[in-house]
Amino acid sequence: TVLVDLTDGVLTLVLNRPDRLNALTDDMHMALRAGIQRAHDDADVRAVLLTGAGRAFCAGQDLGDRDPRRGGPAPDLGQTLETYYNPTLRLIRSLDKPVVCAVNGVAAGAGANIALACDIVLAAQSARFIQAFAKIGLVPDAGGSWSLTRILGEARAKALALTAEPLPAQQAADWGLIWKAVADEALMDQASALALSLAAGPTLGLGLTKRLIQAAATNSLDEQLDLERDAQRKAGRSADYAEGVTAFLEKRPALFRGE
């Protein structure tokens, strides 16, 4: 349900249930989780690329799994989030390596919000982001109420979440919700090139950079200056910093080893 490949430092994870628009089943949740966990544990992984197979990125939770017509007690969706979504969201945010998301088609419900949890999001021009929850009586989850509000502000976050109106990729880029909208046929080349270049980067410094930027939203300037000092101290002791400066002085490309 999730294809996994490690090449040249890039761990590519492909959501792979194209006939259901990559809607998430329990198996897929666990496979995606295992992939991100591997990125934490395996030093050979220096960047992650997440995308979907077929015409969609991900249509969110598989609703066929939860047919209320079958009867029985109402499911505890809070438990579903705790079991399947929240650990994965936390793993993506806490990974000290960059995560690129290539949104190849529609991203709906939790599918949209998993994409928004990634560090750099590229989307095909034909892709749309849909906060589909309101259509079925649910609330934004998978971090969406947090990321939409942080990135867009209340006005746009509320309108998207309350109306479930699709947001086209270009508008998402214009609003700063994602990094770029690119021509459909160029998406995978651009996203792979980006992931490869990040994987060849100074991984330790990139991980510290990710942490700094994530901390900024809740820190005061004073706290953030302290955090930058501590992070720069660590980065300054890395082999990649020595290599970066040496390469600059020798007028050659740096060869980072990620440490």
- The number of CA neighbours under 13 Å toward the Cβ of 249 is 6
Nearest distance in Å: CB 35, ligand LHQ? 19
Stretch that binds ligand LHQ, among 5-13, 75-83, 217-225, 244-252 (CB under 6 A): 75-83
- Give me the 99-118 binding string for ligand LHQ, x by CB under 6 A, dash otherwise: -------x-xxx--------
Q: Which residues contact 116 (CB under 8 A, 6 or more apart)?
A: 129, 143, 144, 147, 148, 151, 177, 178
Fill in the DSSP letter of residue 75. P
Q: Are strands 10-15 and 2-7 parallel, antiparallel or unpaired?
A: antiparallel
Integer CA distances (angstroms), 49 to 166, 173, 221, 242, 255, in order: 24, 19, 32, 28, 21
Q: Is the Cβ of residue 73 or residue 253 nearer to ligand LHQ in the bound state?
A: 73
Quick count: other Cβ atoms within 10 Å of Cβ 7?
Answer: 12
**Near ligand LHQ by CB under 6 A: residue from 15, 39, 59, 120:** 59
**Near ligand LHQ by CB under 6 A: residue from 17, 29, 36, 61:** 61
Contact 179/120 with Cβ under 8 angstroms? Answer: yes
Tokens of 230: 């501590």
Q: Is the Cβ of residue 108 or residue 178 nearer to ligand LHQ in the bound state?
A: 108
Q: Is 30 in the site for ligand LHQ (CB under 6 A)?
A: no
Stretch that binds ligand LHQ, among 60-68, 115-123, 200-208, 215-223 (CB under 6 A): 60-68
Contact 61/23 with Cβ under 8 angstroms? Answer: yes
Nearest distance in Å: CB 21, ligand LHQ? 4
- Binding residues (CB under 6 A) for ligand LHQ: these are 20-21, 23, 59-64, 66, 77, 80-81, 106, 108-110, 130, 132-133, 135-136, 138, 141
